[in-house]
Structure 1
């Protein structure tokens, strides 16, 4: 399975560019490019800021299959709810 870069995918989904993100983050376009190609990774405070700027849950930037993750969480929650009844 190929490595999927979540930051790059979310930027595309939100119709934002690397340049936009670099301007918003106050970093060089080269830094964002490295994040998007997995040459380096942002630190946690930067990752939180990226999530805020892109208006996504931080998990969407770090969980490979986020939608699958959400479905599994929902199913687990329902199982817990059914167990309480």
Structure 2
């Protein structure tokens, strides 16, 4: 599984610290989510999906193997 939070934030021209502030979490916590050190809980994932305008499923996507 590959974390897509950083990608989605950059694609929308947003800043991690602004999203962290809106969610009421520390910048360190949010950074950990973006680096896949820790994961947001279910409620945090829901809040994040709403802020980014994507379904929760889009926050984490399976990597696809290239079989040729």
TM range (shorter): 0.7 to 0.9
Q: What TM-score does the superposition give when structure 2 sets the normalisation length?
A: 0.83
Q: What TM-score does the superposition give when structure 1 sets the normalisation length?
A: 0.68
Partners of 2:57 and 2:3 in 1: how far apart? 13
Unaligned runs of 5+ in 1: 69-85
The number of residue pairs the alignment matches comes to 64
CA RMSD in angstroms, aligned pairs only: 1.7
Rg (Cα) greater in structure: 1
Partners of 1:7 and 1:52 in 2: how far apart? 13
Higher relative contact order (CA 8 A, sep 6+): 2
Unaligned runs of 5+ in 2: none
Q: Which has the higher helix share?
A: 1
Point out 4+ residue stretches in structure 1 off by more than 2 angstroms. none
